[in-house]
Amino acid sequence: MKIEEQLRDYRATLDAATDEAAVSHADRIAPPVRIRPTRTFLVAAVAVAATVAVAFAAVGVSHRHSTPPAGTGRPTTPTTSTPPITSGTRTVVVPSVLGMNASEARQVVETLGFRAVERFVPDRSLACTAPRGFVNAQDPPPGTRVAKASTVTLTVCIPWGGGRWSDPQLTITPTSLGAVRVGMTKTQAQTAAGFSFDGQGDGFVYPRALPAGYPHDYVGLGAPHDTVICVGAGKNGATTNGPQRISTTEGFQLGDTVDHLLAVYGSRARFVAAPASGMTTNAGYVVAEADGTLVFVVDKAHQRVVEIAGGAAGIGPNSCTG
């Protein structure tokens, strides 16, 4: 069959998939409460605040966990989707769910009409002081008065993410991403990751077949000459919907804001301007750790980190392979 005929024949398949992707993309965008229209207008969004009719009261929820709650750890990133309190807005006091089991905490928060967002920190990180599976910190803090149906972010401690790339959480360091380490051969990395690196682009290899619902867009490695020199993970879209599964040892997560990056790393984060040419138009930060460097690429519009690379050369057309 001639190539031109095949291409014409491909049209129905391509159009159907494009239409389906467009619908599915609109459905995936959860509509947080916002004060100005954004891309979420494409979704038949029902404003959560308008539909929840729950009686609110100032509460102090007793801790059901027998161990006294741990300290609040490092400050968490304030959420950006809390509506402003204006005259006439119903306000609610945020309960304390510190030290509660994460799923119970979520239930409490949602029963009171808030939107719960969980973020995870590995239990070996300096940010994590609660037991695994329990709420280590919350934002807004307990007792804060906020507009009805605001978002409450629960920081939950989870096991150290040193495993396969299908694990619930991966920790990235200057020399590793989960169980994949800089210096491994590509074959060893595939075994450690549990995936075949069958995708390739920009000198970067990655598994195409990530599990369904994987919240980031890519994890991969730079492996010229078949040796891993760099590992990286990225989350485009710069939103923090859903759990974040890539974090550094200090609890900084993919998708977090630049403000939070600077709060965690302080003067160790060296700003690097966007390169004059190449694939990226983003600037970022480089942090020198004892065992190497971490590169954080920032989405300029949202001021969030959309890529973290360990062992990277710096911000460039390809921050992983230089």
Partner 1 sequence: MGVYVGESAIGENVGIDGSEDFDSFVTRRGPDLRRVLVAHYGLDVGVEAAADALAYAWERWERVSTMENPTGYLVRVGQSAARRYRRRPVVLPDRVPEIESTFDPRLPRALERLSPRQRSAVVLICVHDWTYPAASTALGVSESTLRNHVRRGLESLRRELGESSE
List residues binding partner 1 (CB under 8 A).
Answer: 1-4, 6-19, 21-22, 25-26, 36-39, 41-42, 199, 201-202, 204, 206, 208, 217-218, 220, 234, 236-238, 279-282, 297, 299, 301, 306-307
Nearer to partner 1, 2 or 57 (CB): 2
Could you tell me the two tokens for 148? Answer: 């009805």
Q: How far is the CB of 177 from partner 1 (least distance, A)?
A: 14
Cβ-contact 307, 232 below 8 angstroms:
yes
Is the CB of residue 176 less than 8 Å from the CB of residue 231? yes
Q: How far is the CB of 3 from partner 1 (least distance, A)?
A: 5
- Specify the residue, 202 or 289, whose C-beta has the smaller distance to partner 1: 202
Q: Which is nearer to partner 1, 23 or 126 (CB)?
A: 23
Question: Phi/psi at 48 (nearest 5 deg)?
Answer: -60, -40
Are 91 and 85 within 8 A, CB to CB?
Answer: yes
Burial of 55 (0-12, 13-18, 19+ CB in 10 A): exposed
Question: Nearest 5°: phi and psi at 97?
Answer: -120, 15
Token look-up 């599915």 returns 24
Residue tagged 């200057």 (tokens): 174
CB 4, min distance to partner 1, A: 6
**61 in helix, strand or coil?**
coil
> Which of residues 119 and 304 has its CB atom nearest to partner 1 in the complex?
304
Q: Are 229 and 311 in contact (CB under 8 A)?
A: yes
Contact 285, 268 (CB under 8 A): no
Nearer to partner 1, 43 or 262 (CB): 43
- Identify which of residues 198 and 259 has a Cβ nearer to partner 1 in the complex: 198
CB 282, CB 274: distance < 8 Å: yes
Output 78 or 201, the one with its CB closest to partner 1: 201
In the complex, minimum distance from the CB of residue 202 to partner 1, in angstroms, rounded to a whole number: 6
Helix and strand element counts for the chain (H, E): 5, 17
